[in-house]
Every structure is written in C-alpha cells, then in structure tokens.
Structure 1
C-alpha cells in the first residue's frame, strides 16, 4: 500500500504548477529534469537535484530546483529503522528560516510517497532571483574596494550569526551555500542546502564548526578581512572593541579546525 503525504504546497504557485501538470507527487516524480550532477548514491538509496524552467503565459518563467530522493534517510531516535528522509529535514529548516525572516529558497512543494521498502520524497524550491553564490562571486568581491568588500563581509557575518542564534549549525557552510545579491547595496544574504543542519547546544560549537568550514574554503581573503568578518560575527555594531580572551580562544580553535 502506497501512502502519499502532500506535506506542503505554496498556495500562490498552485495555478502555475497546474498549467504544467505538476500538482501531484507522481507528476513530479516522472517529470524529467536536468540533473546538476549524477544523483548521489548513499544511505542505501539515492538523492539528486536538478533545475526546471516553467514558461508562464504573460509573465516571467518560473525557475525551480527539484530535489528527488529514494530510500535516502537519516536514522534518528524517532526513526531508528527506516530513517527520516533528509529532504523532510531540509523542508522543516527552510520553513523555520522563513518564519524567522532569514532569506532562503522559497518552498513551493514538499511531498513524500511511503511504502514498505520504497521511501521517496520531493522538495521543490524557487530560484533565488538576483542572487549569486559566494564561491562564484568571491574572485570579483576580492577585487572590490575595501569599503565595498567589507559591506558584504559584514552582511554575511551577521546573517550567519542570526542563523546560529536560532540554535542551528549548518554543518556544510561552504561559499557555494551562501548566496548574496551582488548588485544590491543592502547586501542581502541567503543560505541554502540545509539538509545537514541541526540544532546544537553551545554558541562556541556552532561558530567553531561552521566558521572553520567557511574559513577553509575562502582562499584569497586577506587576514585583515577575516578578522573584520570575525569581529562582525561576534559583536556586530560593536565590532571595533578589542577581542577578549574568550574571543581569541574561539578564533584560535576556528583556525585550528580549518586546517584539518
């Protein structure tokens, strides 16, 4: 017996999706998409993501990212045998960020199809219009004036701190998972790929884990800019105050972990 659970569908996009025959789980499952790369084969199943452009009459096309997975779950104390679909976790995290006012991909649809030995899930999110990932944009950012460069570093640092203050640790905080509006003076920042994110006790633990990963993957950033970023993360508007002994110890541990 198959059980389809339409956990969520964004009301404002239902008509657009229906135009393309995409208003049910099976419609999405059989729809061909262009994978960004071959689906990841692990956890006893597979998981992949692709892009789909849906033309709409009289308006701009709707660009969406479609994530599909089958028998690709993470075992938890609540799901010790079959595991919980990793996209279910990401869906809940995206909804939590939206509720907290932190930019992230807008969820258009999430659903699961559950049957013995065949657990499937689909997560559909809207493209982040006007955003570019930091990995792609970092070389351009490094060529900007110090004032412009620090404007973006400040926005990124404070957004990560807001995320951490919710009690979350990203656990894959690489530049490719941080998106910025490169042509926006307000420097909006969005976070993506939250399937590994989890609640974590201890502000130090969250900072050490995520900032070390980011530090390790931002080659070319000068030490003075890294220190500025760290101070903005720690103290925000009060970034100019000297680092305390505890601040220095945290920075030391982040640097040490980044070299692993």
Structure 2
C-alpha cells in the first residue's frame, strides 16, 4: 500500500505514523461505525505518559472546503488549537496525522491525559457538591460560564456540549480551593460566523443535557452573559427537556 503525503502531521513522517498506529491499548470509547468508517479511542502509554489515541479509518466529514471529505480528527485538531488560543483548557496534542491510500483514509489524534480532571457529572454522582460546599459549587458555575464565553467569543462552537464533556479539577487547600474547567471531545467543534450562533447552539444544548436546576442555570447564565458582554433572552427562558 502506497500512502499519499499526509494531510496533517505534526511530525510529517510516515514512519512516525506507522509507529503510533502500532501502539495498542484499552478501548475507552469502543469503535463506532459511521461516516463511512470507524472511530474509537484507546488509552495508551507511550513516552512515559498516559495518552489517549483516537484511531480512525475512513471516518470523514464533508464541507464546502472539503467536498470530497477528510478525517474528522483533522477538524478536531484545528478546534483544539483554536480553543487553546482562546484561553480554554483542552487536551494537549502530542501527534496528529492522516494518510490516504487506495484503501482509504487512516487517521490518528494522540493527546495527553487531562491530569486530575474528572467529568462534572461524575463529581456530582460522587457527592462532590456536598463534600466541598455550596460556595465552591457557585465558583464552579462561574468558571464554566467563563470557559464557554472564551470559546464562543472566539466564534468556536463545541457542537456536542453535554455535561460529561465538561471536566473539573479542584486545586488549592483549605479556604483557597479553586475549580479549574476543561473541555473534552471537540470532534464536532467548528467555527461559526458570529459568536451569537456559537453561543445559542451550545448553551441551549447544554441546558437540555445538564443536571442543573433553574437556580443554578440562572446563576451560570448571569455570569456567562457578563463574560460575553451581551444579553441572550432566549437563554434565560431555557428549561431542561
């Protein structure tokens, strides 16, 4: 099989691609068959670090810029870079590449683990809100609001913003505990023409897929609108489905 030059490769080396492709690990997201191929995520250990490898074959998306399709990890790579430039904490890219041959596409996205972060829904399930108290919970809502505002101000729309994609890490000790927020799974993330488009799509989706009651939601939206510097009446009226 003769591979064409890689579309996107942080190391620009076919050898590097083959070496990364051979590393296998435990599936943390079983491969799903869609978009003309499969895509799944493995937990691997390489270079002395815990890493996550998104492995794809023929798993493509099409757009006006790419009418014939390209692997979705390349879109995710762009989103990770864009989100980080916007000041949002996301997984750090170790390696990203895609190769096309007569048998189709193969693509890899290798990222570092988000150390000490956990999904907010898991934290709630483990009584994290009760353990640390209401004051810290309100700080968490503020940080979620500011994180999403930074993403949307840069016109990036997450596209699949469920509560399980928002991670939290608590730092500090005693009375100086501070929540830090990170976003995960940016595969469907894309740039919108306006920040309003990104904001309304993500925030209404988050409302439908979050455990927050109306009081928590009103608090989050209040901080979010202050960070955005504008008001979205639709968000105040939003209720969970």
Partner in structure 1 of residue 146 of structure 2: 158
How do residues 40-189 of structure 1 correspond to structure 2 at under 5 angstroms?
A: 40-54=32-46, 61-81=48-68, 83-139=69-125, 140-143=127-130, 144-184=132-172, 185-189=177-181
- Alpha-carbon deviations, 1:147-180, whole Å to 9, x = none? 1110111001110011000001111011121111
Tell me the distance in 2 between the aligned counterparts of 1:49 and 1:28: 13
Q: Paired residues, what number?
A: 232
Please list every run of 5 or more consecutive structure 2 residues that lacks an aligned counterpart in the other structure: none
Larger-gyration structure (1/2): 1
Q: 1:228 aligns with which of 210, 219, 234?
A: 219
Q: CA deviation at 1:237?
A: 11
Q: Secondary structure at the match of 1:234?
A: helix
**Cα RMSD over matched residues?**
2.5
Tell me the distance in 1 between the aligned counterparts of 2:128 and 2:199: 23
Tell me the distance in 2 between the aligned counterparts of 1:121 and 1:128: 22
- Alpha-carbon deviations, 1:61-98, whole Å to 9, x = none? 400000110111101122222x0110001111111222
Q: CA deviation at 1:4?
A: 4.4
Q: CA deviation at 1:206?
A: 2.1
Q: Secondary structure at the match of 1:162?
A: helix
Change (3 A) 1:146 1:8: same
Tell me the distance in 1 between the aligned counterparts of 2:52 and 2:134: 35
